[in-house]
Chains A and B, each alone.
Chain A
Amino acid sequence: MANHQHAAPAPVGGSLVNIVTLSCGVLIALMAAILMVRFLFGLGAVTALNDGYPWGIWIAVDVVIGSAFACGGFSVAMLVYIFNKGEYHPLVRPALLASLFGYTLAGAGVMFDLGRWWNVWNMFWPGSINPNSVMFEVAVCISLYIVVMWIEFSPVVMEQFGKRDMKKKVSKAMFFIIALGTVLPMMHQSSLGTLLVVMGGQVHPLWQTPALPLLYLLSAIFMGYAVVLFESCLTSTAYRRKIETQMLTPMAKIMLGILAVFIVVRLGDVIVRGALPKAFVPSVEALMFWLEMACFIAPLILIGAEANRRNPAKLFLAGVLLMLGGALMRLSGFLIGYETGGDFNYFPTLAEVLVTAGMFAAEVLGYIIITRRFPVLPREEAIH
């Protein structure tokens, strides 16, 4: 591994007060105010939730899509530690950090949505748990994974505060933590798809299939790489650093490989179950299906050729498209393609959107603070 000459990670430095961090601060304050109303007066006071759509964007976007966006840490860790691709090592810390925030906030977001949050301890109480429940499995795996990620990230904090002995100790057990950190997300990312199975015919046939766990797992992995592409391009631009194409180009190839397998499974499943004709009836669902497919297929064309994979703009676009495709598949399964009968409608309120925005702002703010003050990104002369 020593043949890979990587610059050691170092804090980026620079001011923490700028237009981005200030906007994040405002969004977070708005979120806090809305949440206060929610906890004082109930979910109905701020959300458009109803019994036909008991889950809104706080679940579908913040948790289901948000946690898939947070799969960068897991996808890159797999590459580096399981498949021993040491050349990607500099990507590990930034990806892990983004995942850490994504998941921690998704976990917090669930609490905002729980109608009887003070009973949440039952989720871990042996006398209460229901191992048959898909949600039980998802909740336990996500909670554990959050802890595991904080341990994975702890050496960064210890490095910063000069706790070298402590870091050595943690490092000894790190291989196990890393292994756990790959298995847990595999388990719950697939189960996030299985969540829909019990809803039966209420979920549109284009998104209701026993293949859901496989589809959600595969898409979470390539979305993880897509997010890394997205983040690397964005951080490089924002901090005016060199774009790490020498790593991103081969990683994009791996991403496309998984994407190809996914597309075969996705289309094959729809055809085998005989649901394909549903994609040709004029309906919102059919439109959503083709939009989703377009987002999955376009990257194959866009960066299918090696030369195009060296173009940062194209890599960035491909990353964004795949994030969007995966997000659409989840949104359609959980909201757009969900129909419980009766005349229920759901469209998120401004308050719901602001809370979701506040969550993403908290992620961005956290990422900025930590990369500027802790050794996460590879050392480089930043131009400030």
Chain B
Amino acid sequence: MGTRRDFLKGVLASGAAATAGAVAVPAAARETRSRPPEALGLLYDGTLCVGCKACVAACKEANNNPAEFSTVDHLWDTPLDTSGYTFNLIKMYRNGTMDAKDQETNGYAFMKTSCMHCADPSCVSACPVSAMTKDPETGVVGYNPDKCIGCRYCVAACPFGIPKYQYDSPTGRIGKCELCRHRHKDGHYSACAEVCPTGATLFGRTEDLLAEAKRRIAMKPGELNRFPRGRLRPAQEKMLQGQPDGKGERKRKGWRHEPDQSYETPAGKYLQHVYGEKEYGGTQVLKLSGVNFEKLGMPNLPPDAAAAMSETIQHNLYGNLIMPFAVLGAMTWVAKRNVKPEDESSDKEGS
């Protein structure tokens, strides 16, 4: 009897539990993360790029990836987009008569597509089994196929459309740039930067690369300036100092020796925007361009990462399972009072 009263009790109990849960877990927002201090990355300067695609070929070789064809004769590796087998691609923007480089109307421009190694990566937040991880020291976002379940949540989550799955294989993997982390232990850095003839793709600590990017956008267009190639020197010096803590072989060993490859050339006409400095809390790969980034396929992203919002919701609701247990407690209490008579009556009916 007293159904209505019990009903109210049920409502009150579950309401109280929900409130208790909400109070016990203060609504703390998870801030967008920033890059680790020793973060490694690339600086891609579209004004220096000549579209030779040496970096695309080098990436294929370094990652043991097969050629992909888009022409009838199947003569050259001609991928149209990054894929499970192509982690780095130079895409071309063209408009009208294509008179001049780095010009939005009647011009053309180049843009590199590869993983941005986000400070607060969506792919890492999304991955249920920690197959996508961010190295706490270098910040490189790596992939582990032995853990990956192939759910493709990372593919859906990445704002740059970077992780790609191999749909043509029964044992398909996710493919994406890992900044050539497998070559670091031999003193090699990212293959794309190693081979780039113009220094358009440059390797280094993101902090140094950011300083270099700022130096470039301050240049007067057309003025003769010196541009480094391969990797930025400060990175080398830091690495070669060797860390006494002995953490990580790469750090002690440093990068392979390389002669200074810098050269002089007139500065391009830069947009006053270092892409990746602030987007989604920053990325470790930075980009410079003469043409609007969105036109080149780089999305316009807010300074707060979606991963931070997702994890804020997740942890406020389920942090330490306080809320679920509070609700479960209330539900158990109510159910214990309500379930018993049912079973007795059904037993009676059954006999």
Query: Which residues of A are in contact with B by a Cβ distance under 8 Å?
Result: 1-3, 6, 8, 39-45, 47, 49-52, 54-55, 80-87, 89, 113-117, 119-120, 122-123, 125, 128-130, 132-137, 139, 159, 164, 168, 171, 174-176, 178-180, 182-183, 186-187, 190-191, 194-195, 197-202, 210, 212-213, 338, 340-342
A115 to B324 alpha-carbon distance, docked (Å)? 31
> Chain A contacts of B350 at CB under 8 A?
8, 159, 164
**B19 interface residue per 8 A CB criterion:** no
Looking at B67-75, B164-172, B245-253, B260-268, the stretch in contact with chain A turns out to be: B164-172
CB–CB B128/A197 < 8 A:
no
Q: Which of A134, A171, A213 has the most B CB atoms < 10 Å from its CB? A: A134
Bound together, the chains give a CA A186 to CA B240 distance in angstroms of 54
Q: Which among B127, B147, B299 is the interface contact of A133 at CB below 8 angstroms?
A: B127
Q: Is B172's CB under 8 angstroms from A213's CB?
A: no
A341 to B84 Cα, complex, angstroms: 17
For residue B159, CB closer than 8 A to chain A, the reply is yes
B310 touches A175 (CB 8 A): no
Per the bound structure, the CA–CA distance linking A41 and B171 in Å amounts to: 9
Task: With both chains docked as a complex, state the minimum distance between the C-beta of B305 and any C-beta of chain A, in angstroms.
Answer: 8
- The answer to whether B155 and A54 touch across the interface, beta carbons within 8 angstroms, is yes
Chain A interface secondary structure, helix, strand, loop or mixed? helix
Number of B interface residues in the complex (CB < 8 A) = 77
Q: How far is the CB of A274 from chain B (nearest CB, A)?
A: 15
Report which of A40, A129, A133, A178 forms a contact with B170, defined as CB distance below 8 A.
A40
B331–A82 CB distance below 8 A: yes
Known: A133-B126, A198-B157. 6 other contacts (CB 8 A): A116-B173, A134-B126, A135-B153, A183-B328, A194-B313, A195-B153
B105-128 contacts to A, CB under 8 A, are: 122, 125-128
The reply on B50 being an interface residue by CB < 8 A is no
Specify which chain B residues have a CB less than 8 angstroms from the CB of A132 in the assembled complex: 125, 307, 311, 314-315
Q: Establish whether residues A51 and B165, one from each chain, have CB atoms under 8 Å apart when the complex forms.
A: yes
Q: In chain B, what residue has the closest Cβ to A344?
A: B161
Q: Is the CB of B128 within 8 A of A129?
A: yes
Across-interface contacts of A159 in B (CB, < 8 A): 350
Asked if B228 is an interface residue, CB under 8 A from chain A, the answer is: no
A-B contact pairs, 7 of them (CB 8 A): A8-B346, A40-B170, A81-B334, A81-B342, A83-B11, A129-B128, A187-B317
Interchain CB contact under 8 A, A51 and B83 = yes
Asked, given contacts A84-B6, A134-B314, whether A198 binds B122 with beta carbons under 8 Å apart, the answer is: yes
